[in-house]
């Protein structure tokens, strides 16, 4: 299944049912009064969070959603049935905007959360409602009101505690596959991760956090290079940023890569740099002690907390995961 994290959909709530114009026609009742019933209200369109979904893929082929109309009123003061609400399931973390104005309408982050996206029209009143002492035989009824309609932009922003950021092929996918049940594609060439992946990291029965593997960022990502803006938005909801640094690049290249990633984060949203950040110096299994110490010293000189790890062998992961958990849950 392809990962789809943005979709435009057209929605329309149901129109209200027409009120009825009717008069009693009964034997022995020569002057029966009006008995036209009211029309039913139209159904509303409701967005509901479904935690079983993790993509907007379902909107790839269906983009128009129309709720049921209200039923017209009938004689003998019978009111029409209300139209059924149309419930559209969306993933947790879906942001809803109005396409025309760009206005933020809803941020659906809680399991089971509902939001009425378009309200159904009210049903029209039947002529029985308009009878008065001076107008005992009204021959008119109200039409039902139209339901609301609009075009929405759905945007999925992954909900994760820790966001893995770094250049392509830094080892992010390897780390996620080792510490969680997630199975992102892993290979020895750049851009293997084409879509974000989520994984639950369990330290014990009661201690866990969610980690997101954000596809590798390249220079110019904040301006859209390499689908950068599509990926960077998933970092916004994370509590902690874990920078994956390929230590085998050498100190100068590794530092330059880190600076490039930070520049892209700032360019997209400067507040991202206010998040807690850790440095994972990856590939300690193939880098000499001297090279690791030099790189570690240069990051520590910037006041950054570093951890030596090997995502491939699992070395050094325990203290890193413990600290990540502390940063994610220590404030709670």
Could you give the CA distance from residue 28 to residue 232 in angstroms, rounded to a whole number?
Answer: 78
Q: Which pLDDT does position 31 carry in this prediction?
A: 64
Q: Is the pTM of this model over 0.85?
A: no
Instruction: State the average pLDDT over residues 66-74.
Output: 96
CA dihedral sign, ordered 72, 73, 78, 81:
positive
Q: Which pLDDT does position 36 carry in this prediction?
A: 93
**Would residue 94 be called left, alpha or beta, if left means φ above 0 and alpha means ψ between -120 and 50 degrees?**
beta
* Residue with the larger pLDDT of the pair 136 and 49: 49
In Å, how far from its chain's centre is CA 188? 31
The pLDDT tens digits for 10-40 are 999 999 999 999 998 776 655 678 999 999 9
Instruction: State the average pLDDT over residues 35-51.
Output: 95
Q: Is the pLDDT of residue 150 over 70?
A: yes
Q: Which pLDDT does position 210 carry in this prediction?
A: 86
The pLDDT tens digits for 243-291 are 999 999 999 999 999 999 898 888 888 888 899 999 999 999 999 999 9
Q: Which pLDDT does position 222 carry in this prediction?
A: 41
Sketch out the chain's domains with CATH numbers.
Answer: 1-156 (2.70.210.12), 162-329 (3.40.50.300)
Of 132-141, 177-186, 190-199, 318-327, which gets the smallest average pLDDT? Answer: 190-199
Query: Please, are residues 304 and 254 in contact by the beta-carbon 8 Å criterion?
Result: no
Most confident of 79-83, 206-210, 269-273: 79-83
Helix (H) or strand (E) holding 178: helix 172-179
Q: Which pLDDT does position 208 carry in this prediction?
A: 84
Q: What DSSP assignment string belongs to 36-95?
A: PPPPPPPPPEEEEE-TT--SSGGGTT--EEEPPPPPPPBTTTBPPPPPPPEEEEE-TTEE
Query: Quick check: helix, strand or coil at residue 322?
Result: helix
Q: Which pLDDT does position 217 carry in this prediction?
A: 60
* Residue with the larger pLDDT of the pair 172 and 206: 172
Instruction: State the chain's mean pLDDT as an integer.
Output: 85
β pairing state of 64-66 and 197-202: unpaired
The pLDDT tens digits for 97-137 are 999 998 999 999 899 999 999 999 999 999 999 998 888 88
172, β-bridge pairs: none
* Residue with the larger pLDDT of the pair 227 and 11: 11
């Amino acid at each position: 299944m392809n990962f789809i994290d943005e979709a435009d959909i057209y929605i329309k709530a149901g129109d209200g049912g027409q009120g009825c114009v009717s008069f009693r026609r009964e034997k022995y009742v020569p002057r029966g009064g009006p008995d036209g019933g009211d029309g039913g209200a139209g159904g509303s369109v409701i967005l509901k969070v479904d935690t079983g979904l993790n993509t907007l893929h379902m909107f790839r082929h269906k983009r128009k959603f129309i709720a049921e109309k209200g039923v017209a009123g009938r004689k003998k003061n019978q009111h029409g049935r209300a139209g059924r609400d149309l419930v559209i399931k969306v993933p947790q973390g879906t942001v809803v905007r109005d396409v025309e104005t760009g206005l933020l309408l809803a941020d659906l982050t809680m399991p089971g959360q509902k939001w009425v996206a378009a309200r159904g029209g009210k049903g029209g009143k039947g002529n029985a409602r308009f009878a008065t002492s001076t107008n005992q035989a009204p021959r008119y009824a109200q039409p039902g009101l139209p339901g609301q309609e609009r075009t929405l932009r759905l945007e999925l922003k992954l909900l994760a505690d820790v966001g893995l950021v770094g250049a392509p092929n830094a080892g992010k996918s390897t780390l996620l596959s080792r510490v969680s049940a997630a199975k992102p594609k892993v290979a020895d060439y750049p851009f293997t991760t084409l879509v974000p992946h989520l994984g639950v990291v369990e330290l014990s029965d009661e201690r866990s956090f969610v980690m997101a593997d954000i596809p590798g960022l390249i220079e110019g990502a904040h301006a859209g290079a390499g689908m950068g803006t599509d990926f960077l938005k998933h970092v916004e909801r994370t509590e902690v940023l874990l920078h994956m640094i390929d230590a085998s690049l050498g100190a100068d290249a590794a530092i330059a890569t880190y600076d490039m990633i930070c520049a892209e984060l700032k360019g997209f949203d400067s507040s991202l740099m206010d998040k807690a950040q850790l440095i994972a110096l990856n590939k300690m299994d193939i880098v000499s002690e001297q090279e690791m110490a030099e790189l570690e010293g240069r990051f520590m000189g910037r006041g950054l907390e570093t951890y030596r790890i090997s995502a491939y062998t699992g070395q050094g992961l325990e203290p890193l995961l413990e600290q990540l958990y502390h940063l994610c849950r220590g404030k709670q």
